Amino acid sequence: MQTYIIDGSKFSDFEGFCCEIDRIMTKGLSFKTSHNLNAFRDILYGGLGCHEPEEPFVIKWLHYEKSRADLGDILILAILDNITDHDNSGYDCKLEIYR
């Protein structure tokens, strides 16, 4: 199972978060991903170089509390909502949080 490590010590705003996601979850793309929650959801779905659609994967989020403080509760909750896939969009992600 593919594991992605988001390191909250490597960014302090949403743009930095998106750059970190691009770095760890996309490979070999001939285009730059958009840096918004819709694009993040597309990356989670798969097919952008690191895992295929419907392929299970794990996200380990290091320094989560720093990310929460940096991004704020509203944005962090939106990100978590995307990761946990409450509407069954077709990806299978397990989230592990490391404070």
| Long-range contacts formed by 35-41: CB under 8 A, 24+ apart | 37/78, 37/79, 37/82, 40/79, 40/82, 41/82, 41/89
Measure the CA–CA gap between 99 and 83, rounded to whole angstroms. 17
The whole-number pLDDT of residue 89 equals 67
Structure tokens at 25: 């979850």
Identify the burial level of 38 via C-beta atoms within 10 angstroms of its C-beta, where 0-12 means exposed, 13-18 middle and 19 or more buried. Answer: exposed
Query: Which residues does the chain have with pLDDT short of 70?
Result: 85-89
- Structurally, the chain folds into a number of domains equal to 1
The CATH number assigned to the domain holding 75 equals 3.30.370.10
What's the pLDDT score for residue 91? 84
Strand, coil or helix: 91 = coil
Q: Note down the domain range covering 42.
A: 2-97
Instruction: Give residue 80's Cα distance to chain centre.
Output: 9
